[in-house]
Amino acid sequence: MSLRRPPALILALVLATLVGAPVLPALAGETLLEPGHITEDDVIGALFTGARAQPSCDGAASGACRGFGPMPPARPVKPNAGKAGLLITFPTDSAELTGEAMATLDVVARALQSDTLIGERFRIEGHADPRGTEEHNLRLSQARADAVSRYLVTVRAVLPQRLDALGKGSAEPVNLDRPDAPENRRVTVVAVPGS
């Protein structure tokens, strides 16, 4: 392993590997969710920023708000919240979704349609590994983001106005030691602030 990684990250990666944890920290502070192991709660936990405004209930001493029941407790904003790197990986030079990727996206769709995330908007960011030209990687990563967004909309009925697809090229690899690693050919879901 490279010495460029902070020791805490190395320890976290080793522990996650030993216990088979479904959530691994990435180099850029991004949460990587492994296919086959993620749950709706994992996705919600990674994407929920905790910044949702609570309605005002002036004069509601009992905790009730205009007769609709108790107010949910306010949640503090989590550091690094609102971004989930999904290990929805693609074969080299491809934007075709695999069966495993579609199964993961089914879980993601249920999370996006949960009560916690239902009113939020998200950016689907496609990534490529650094093999190929910058222009080619940008087109390929956009095709990957489009494929994921299209699946979520057409197959899982996520409203299209809640998703924006953006290709990021090869500018944000998570595995610097192995540029051709599958995790560098991934999709990231990011909560759009102020949505």
CATH architecture under which domain 12-191 falls: 2-Layer Sandwich (3.30)
Residues 167, 193: Cα–Cα separation, whole Å: 19
CB atoms within 10 A of CB 116: 17
Reported as a single tens digit per residue, the pLDDT across 115-167 is 999 889 999 999 999 999 999 999 999 999 999 999 999 999 999 999 999 99
pTM: 0.69
Where exactly are the structural domains of the chain?
12-191
Residue 65 has pLDDT above 90, yes or no: no
Residues 30-50 have pLDDT tens digits of 556 666 778 888 888 888 876
Q: Which residues contact 168 (CB under 8 A, 6 or more apart)?
A: 125, 126, 127, 138, 141, 188
Mean pLDDT of the chain: 74
Would you say residue 188 has pLDDT above 90? no
**pLDDT class for 81, splitting at 50, 70, 90?**
low
